[in-house]
Amino acid sequence: MKVIQGNFSKNTKKSLNDKVLEGLTKLKDQSNDEEIRYPFILIVDTGDDLRVVSDIEIEKFNLLLDLVKQTILTGEYDT
């Protein structure tokens, strides 16, 4: 698994749109066109609640969230 992180805290004036576009640009730069065609999960903390956008069926979605959580907890990912 690869975690793509932006350095968003240095510029607090960036909008959510700017941050998402920066993340998508990094994804595109680090992936090939075939990888980008696969389903996605986007999680955003709005300050009031979490918003989740995805095109994955719920069973696979839950499995992927568990996999992501376990991978991050164990530190077994690339940056």
Per-residue confidence band for 58, with pLDDT thresholds at 50, 70 and 90: very high
In a domain, 3, yes or no: no
66 has pLDDT over 80: yes
Q: Is the pLDDT of residue 70 over 90?
A: yes
pLDDT beyond 80 at 12: no
Residue at 1 is within a domain:
no
Q: Is residue 18 part of a domain?
A: yes
| pLDDT > 70? residue 36 | no
Handedness of CA 54, 76, 24, 13 (dihedral sign): positive
- pLDDT mean across residues, the chain: 82
- Is 19 contained in some domain? yes
Q: Which residue has the tokens 């004036």?
A: 13
Residue 57 to residue 25: CA distance in whole angstroms? 25
Residue 68 lies in a domain: yes
Our count of domains for the chain comes to: 1
Provide the 3-class DSSP secondary structure of residue 75.
coil
Q: Residue 25 belongs to what domain range?
A: 8-74
Residue 43 domain flag: yes
